[in-house]
A and B are shown apart, each in its own frame.
Chain A
Amino acid sequence: MSGPAFRLTDSTLRDGSHALSHRYTTEQVASIVRGLDAAGVPVIEVSHGDGLGGSSFNYGFSGTDERDLVSAAVGAATRARIAVLLLPGIGVADDLRDMADRGVQVARIATHCTEADIAEQHIRLAKRLGMEAVGFLMMAHMAEPAQLLDQARLMESYGADCVYVVDSAGAMTTADARARVGTLAEGLGCQVGHHAHNNLSLAVANSLAALDVGADQLDGCCAGLGAGAGNCPTEVLVATCDKLGLATGVDPLEAMGVAEDLVRPLRPEMGVIDRAGLLLGYAGVYGSFLLHAQRAAARYGVDVGEILLELGRRRIVGGQEDMILDVALELARKATPASRPAGQELPA
């Protein structure tokens, strides 16, 4: 009997946190980790949706300190390794040191797909701390395969054990995903991963295509819970692989149970690809902007679709949530009759 065809990382408790506005409780984390661990999921990621240190005005404050959530996850896991995400410029080295002390074994270090060199400090630190280091190249649809390979090679040179092609905007066609993952699989000595979002309804298909061209690691979230229209649904990926005869090491029925009983009730409408979710993929906009854009649209009386399209036109990158407010105010100003006195055009 051979081992699994790929290693699965479930990010329900990190990327899924976006869909809950970062309000997980330690009880929810512990029960979801117990379920995933029993189902056989080998790696479980836990952090604020924007990674360690993400709790902020810009991205939303955590309901429960992520350090407590991580400790709850480490305590609940018997077999699974706990992972965290860190974006240099948001989280800092001390956050990573603290996570190593808490028993976290995998550090995923994320940068925009053309800025891999800002991950050097944190990838090297993760290795020094004895952690597995995973490089995470976000918004990878914005870089051509050859450029992405150059960036992935930088991460590999810092010591990354795996480099991910991350489709943060859910904007890749299957051909896009295949070209990027395939180029990295051929050009890197380390492992390659793919992280898919479902804004174009292609998350599972693209994950399977990634596997076909050499991916070693894939990501999913139970019930697709995550930014934008959601992530690659863990239970769907596992069930499909089972039908294809691809071993995952995860029990499909148990994964379905976690998704249905523990995760789906947290956000019952998750997984619907509505216009706003589709627009993210269509315009190539960072998935976690969605809820922030909806809030700004409601507050300033402007259209969420127009906000997302303008963010796409400006080529805003992940992390620039502050520009959602900038765009919403600009749209509100343009929509305001010229007779209003200047400086008072902003609704409270």
Chain B
Amino acid sequence: MTLSCVVIGSGNIGTDLVHKLLRSPSLELRALVGIDPASEGLARARKLGVEATAEGIDWVEAHAGEIDLAFEATSARVHAANAPRLAAAGITAVDLTPARLGPPVVPGVNLDQHLDAPNLNLITCGGQATAPIVAAVVSASRVPYAEIVSTVASRSAGPGTRQNIDEFTRTTASSLEEVGGAAHGKAIIILNPADPPILMRNTVFCALPDGYDEAAVAAAIEDMVGRVARYVPGYRLKRPPVFEEGPFATPGGPAAARVVALLEVEGAGDFLPPYAGNLDIMTAAAVRVGEALAEARAPERRGQVTV
């Protein structure tokens, strides 16, 4: 079935989402919702033929009967205020802020467990880019410790990320455990100001116990990269997974070896520039979540969704 949706937040992320939603076969964009009548984002949406309102969450409540889904692209604080009102109106929230009110979801990893949740959280860009790889390794081996290094271009890191770098770091780390399935997770976040801006880079290290199956781990990683690339076309391995012998004294205990996956994320360039793969992976994941919800709610396909 088709779900009617709104995007709340008329900034760069909201605008990029509008571009992606206009292409979606199963999501119908009802409106872009902002709070500033002078917002450039609202004006851009109108040019694209999308209804744009500056009346904020009040408008969403007034039109609740016409809306199934709200993509929240504001801030953690604003989403915390909006979430109960969306829930009361029976609107499912797909949260792109770090508010973490609902379960953390990554399409292709754990979304099928949360299709009935009233609020789904997309973690962080670093979590979207790396938790799937940890989950892939976990499918082929025990992972006592996983660590990621996520480097984004300075210009693509907005004030929300900068003022909340601590939450960003911790939320990303916890997703390696909650979504990825590692026993211990650690995240390192780096901003690189190089000009021209760098593409988003992610390095995933997973500790491996004795007796791990190298071919199985490598195949699981490559398969997962393909699954993520289906909704984030610019998501790729820079080179085949690298296996290095230890031993390593990790916080999850001694490990015989580690596998290292070096990843790059190039954005689709819908509205945001291609170097901002960190933002693209969030909007692309959001649309994929919305489409999966649409599939799940189609009566004839209930119970047979693959995400």
Contact = CB atoms under 8 A, between A and B. Distances in A.
Given A56-B186, A325-B242, A118 B191 contact: yes
Nearest to B238: A326
A120 interface: yes
Interface in A115-167: 115, 117-118, 120-122
Interface residues of A, number: 37
Contacts of A335: none
Contact of A56 (B164, B188, B189): B188
B190 A346 contact: no
B250 interface: yes
Contacts of A90: 169, 188-189
Interface in B207-248: 207, 238-240, 242-245, 248
B62 interface: no
Contact of B165 (A88, A315, A317): A88
Nearest to B207: A57
B248 A317 contact: no
A329 B261 CA distance: 12
Contacts of B149: 58, 319-322
B191 A346 contact: no
A115 B163 contact: no
B201 interface: yes
B151 interface: yes
B307 interface: no
Interface in A77-113: 88-90, 92-93, 112
Contact of A317 (B168, B193, B205, B243): B193
Nearest to A122: B166
Question: How would you classify the secondary structure of chain A's contact residues: helix, strand, loop or mixed?
Answer: loop
A6 interface: no
A118 B249 contact: no
A92 B260 CA distance: 24
A245 interface: no
B192 A316 contact: yes
Question: Which of B164, B186, B193, B251 has the most A CB atoms < 10 Å from its CB?
Answer: B193
Contact of A117 (B163, B189, B238): B163
Contacts of A329: 239, 242, 262
B258 interface: yes
A337 interface: no
A333 interface: yes
Given A329-B239, A348-B243, A58 B193 contact: no
A120 B188 contact: no
A299 B245 CA distance: 11
Contacts of A321: 149
B192 A121 contact: no
B189 A333 contact: no
B12 interface: no
A51 to B, nearest CB: 11
Contacts of B147: 56-58
B82 interface: no
Contacts of B205: 57-58
Given A57-B147, A319-B188, A343-B240, A115 B166 contact: no
B59 to A, nearest CB: 33
Interface in B156-210: 159, 162-166, 168-170, 186, 188-194, 201, 203, 205, 207
Contacts of A330: 239
B196 to A, nearest CB: 10
A55 B244 CA distance: 18
Contacts of A56: 147, 186, 188
A314 interface: yes
A128 to B, nearest CB: 14
Given A89-B188, A117-B162, A320-B151, A57 B250 contact: yes
Given A53-B186, A61-B250, 14 more contacts: A58-B203, A58-B205, A88-B169, A93-B166, A115-B154, A118-B165, A315-B194, A320-B192, A325-B203, A325-B242, A325-B262, A329-B239, A329-B262, A346-B242
10 A-B pairs closest in CB distance: A322-B203, A89-B189, A57-B205, A315-B194, A114-B193, A322-B149, A319-B190, A118-B165, A88-B165, A117-B162
14 contacts: A56-B186, A57-B258, A58-B203, A92-B166, A92-B170, A112-B192, A114-B154, A115-B162, A121-B164, A316-B192, A317-B192, A325-B242, A325-B260, A329-B262
